[in-house]
A and B are shown apart, each in its own frame.
Chain A
Amino acid sequence: MTMHRDAALKALIPHVREDDIVVAVYQSCFDWLALNPRDLNYVAVGAMGQASSHGLGLALANPDRRVIVLDGDGSLLMNLGTLVTIANAGVTNLYHFLSANRVYEVNGSHPLPGADRVDFAAMAWAAGYASVQRFTELDQFSAAVPQVLSSTGPQFVSMELTAGAPYPRDYAYIHSAQARASFREALNRR
């Protein structure tokens, strides 16, 4: 049985603290915004592949907060060096969750190169993440989330999943000045 992304994200929601930063990209972002709208959602990653690099910048500049990255597998393939950079940066507050659906979902659902064999968790492990895990079953993923988020980062979790409910793709919002301003205001509120 394969996880659906919205079910996996719903399992994550109860464990996200109010002061956590969540960096999400593409369909994971659209799903997350629908399921858990909050001011500390960071949605303006700009260029494909860059979500985890934004997450690293936020983790370095905000060491008292957890930074949760909801990455895509096609996105990660565009920026594989980020795994090494993050592992080498000394951040302990970064939690990298990968939606591994093996397709470029928002670009027509074409398959990733190596879609049937790429092992993202192995890549993160080889790069030097503190711990990596790979889940194909929702119940096992749900049970593991509290332990992942209470462990010292950087942590990497590959969620082997398929698309769930079709949440709207609001590109205008994620690229909007309003989204960036809301995040900035929330980040600097305290």
Chain B
Amino acid sequence: MVASPLPTECTPQVKHPSGAAIIAAIKAAGVGEIVALPDIVTSDGLLWPISRDPEFRLTRICKEDEGVSICGAMSYNGTRAILMMQQTGLMDSLNAIRAIGVDYELPVVMMVGLQGKEPHLHPDQSASYGVRIIRPVLDAMELSHSLIEWPGDEAHIPQAIEVAYATSRPHIFLVGRAPEAS
């Protein structure tokens, strides 16, 4: 686990996205299956509320690459799912994503908390190596990705999921700030 930097008096205060809006956007995209390992960035604002929401079935997994396979296999009959995890798990799952998402052209949609990222900084500017390399790695793998940081960023979620399933390709949402529960 990567330690989150402690805020100082000089750390700019920033607004955070709405967890409720993210969940509503996921539902609007027709997703009813959540496959997840806990991630501290998305824990309070997303995963705990999802775990209590009867409109979702939550499958808790032991390792992230399991989730890539589960979501990919579900897609064969059109079942829509989201795999939630931390960026360390994303890195651990790259071969599964390469094979199942890219080589097999399956719509594996992932929502990844950028644990250790400074809320006021863009991921590419993070002091955390593990955070800073995420987007370049995804670009190198030619994987579609988008950032959820500000209030309002939630709005693009349904369309991105639609495109992932319409084109049968993976998409990765990078959550750069802990979503507010409301």
Contacts and interface: CB of A to CB of B under 8 A. Distances in A.
Contacts of A53: 65-70, 73
Contact of B104 (A56, A60, A85, A180): A180
B95 A47 contact: yes
Interface string A123-164: 000000000000000000000000000000000000000000
B76 A47 contact: no
A137 to B, nearest CB: 33
Nearest to A183: B76
Contacts of A55: 73
A36 interface: no
Contact of B105 (A56, A89, A177): A177
Given A82-B66, A85-B62, A46 B76 contact: no
A79 B64 CA distance: 10
Contacts of B67: 53
A60 B63 contact: no
Interface residues of A, number: 30
Q: Which of A50, A53, A56 has the most CB of B within 10 A?
A: A53
Interface residues of B, number: 29
Interface stretch (B4-12, B53-61, B149-157): B53-61
A175 B74 contact: no
B13 interface: no
Interface of B is mostly: helix
Contact of A46 (B74, B79, B96): B96
A149 B48 CA distance: 36
B69 A57 contact: yes
A187 interface: yes
Contacts of A110: none
Contact of B62 (A81, A183, A184): A81
Contacts of A188: 76-78
A113 to B, nearest CB: 18
B57 A58 contact: no
Interface string A29-64: 000000000000010111101100111111011100
B69 A61 contact: no
A44 to B, nearest CB: 5
Contact of A81 (B33, B63, B69, B78): B63
Interface string B96-123: 1001100111000000000000000000
Nearest to A45: B69
A84 B100 CA distance: 22
Interface in A82-98: 82, 84-85, 88-89
B103 A61 contact: no
A14 B36 CA distance: 37
B72 interface: yes
Interface of B: 33, 57, 59-63, 65-74, 76-79, 81, 95-96, 99-100, 103-105
Interface of A: 42, 44-47, 49-50, 53-58, 60-62, 79, 81-82, 84-85, 88-89, 175, 177, 180, 183-184, 187-188
8 contacts: A46-B69, A47-B96, A50-B96, A54-B69, A57-B72, A60-B33, A79-B63, A188-B77
